[in-house]
Structure 1
Amino acid sequence: MALPIAVLVSGSGSNLQALIDRVESGALEARIALVLSNKPDSYGLKRARSHGIPALCIPHTEYADRLEFDRAMIRAIREAGAETVVLAGFMRMLSAEFLKAFAGRVLNIHPALLPSFPGVRGQRDAADYGVTLAGCTVHFVDELMDHGEVVIQAAVPAYPDDDGDSLAERILALEHRILPQAVQWLAQGRIQVKGRKVHVTPTGIQRAVPPANALVNPPLEQGF
């Protein structure tokens, strides 16, 4: 049975589109039960509606504090029947109450190789620092920013003439592959967390070929 998920977005929703594409191709054993945004102008809402996916805006500005906003999101996600929450460019910290409601079932994609460069400027901070490798991380969410256990990471080259935008474009192509892959592992029940280590149970599924000059670990599988 397909895993019912809620996808939270704040912006364009390109990672949401990657999830939609994998669901529609049959590679991702999930059903997007709800796309939820805190911003009414989020293009992610339009993406969802164009594919017949329920889409809802809950503006955080209409709530007195973060906890009341999170409670509204919890109600909406539960009413949609979603069991797992995927943050795909959702620019809000989540409360302990939200994380408890979906314990061990909240994933986030971050455009840097954590624990380096957490926060909203990950690509720009990496470029400004002058790293020679950059990348992205899918991790479980806890109460600290970009801190939870790492599920999968992808690394790409970073060059001396990169700025945040050029590096972000290179990283984004890998985000679109590792986020659906991580959700698939969760949907298949293949993830075990031991301390800070995440173990993915192997199944013998054929590996996919990553883009040139990219390293992905654990390896991508066929369809991703």
Structure 2
Amino acid sequence: MTTPLLRVDNIARQYTRGTFRKQVTFTLAANFEVATPRIIGVLGPNGSGKTTLFELITGSNKPSAGRVLVKGQDIHQVRTHERDRLAIHYHQSYQVRHFKQGKPNFLLEHAATDSPWVHLFDEPQFNTQDGYIGFMLDFFQRLKQSGRLVFLCMHPNEPYHIDILRESCEEFIFVHKGVVTQAQDLPTLMRDERARNYLGALAERAGAPAALQPA
């Protein structure tokens, strides 16, 4: 049996406030598996938990429950400075996300690879005027062809953003109020009222039937 590239195994991250009488302010929960190399689009409103999900996958945020397995290795049990050998998080202008060290490294294991299997792009800055967009889209495809898994998180506000997602991504994840939902393609995602409302006027371009478009 082939080991999946990524297994998000009943992962959860809960945020609370208060010292003596703690109140839960936000909870993210996810449980999914990606077996083979592909490009996955990630959508959702601001504050829904998309970046938290990416941080949990890369081991830069400590889960309240569950685990993340990259090629069968629990990334939260890997030495802090080696976690980006399994999964790497690029935020906006492609800088790599860093994180604080928790458990001492000598108590953790070494990464089983030198090159990350999972690449997570968090709202990259695409500009149609500078020609960089074509380079990045080609880069995503080359990562996939080399056996890697790519997550492309975008906050669409232009029609060409929808075109990028539709043409580049093979499946989608929608994050809404901490709930993670999978869809096999963009039209399937558009059957979800929450996703249609999120995209608003762009829902039709994403494949929502006229009868289901937001009012």
Higher relative contact order (CA 8 A, sep 6+): 2
Tell me the TM-score normalized by structure 2: 0.34
TM-score normalised over the length of structure 1: 0.33
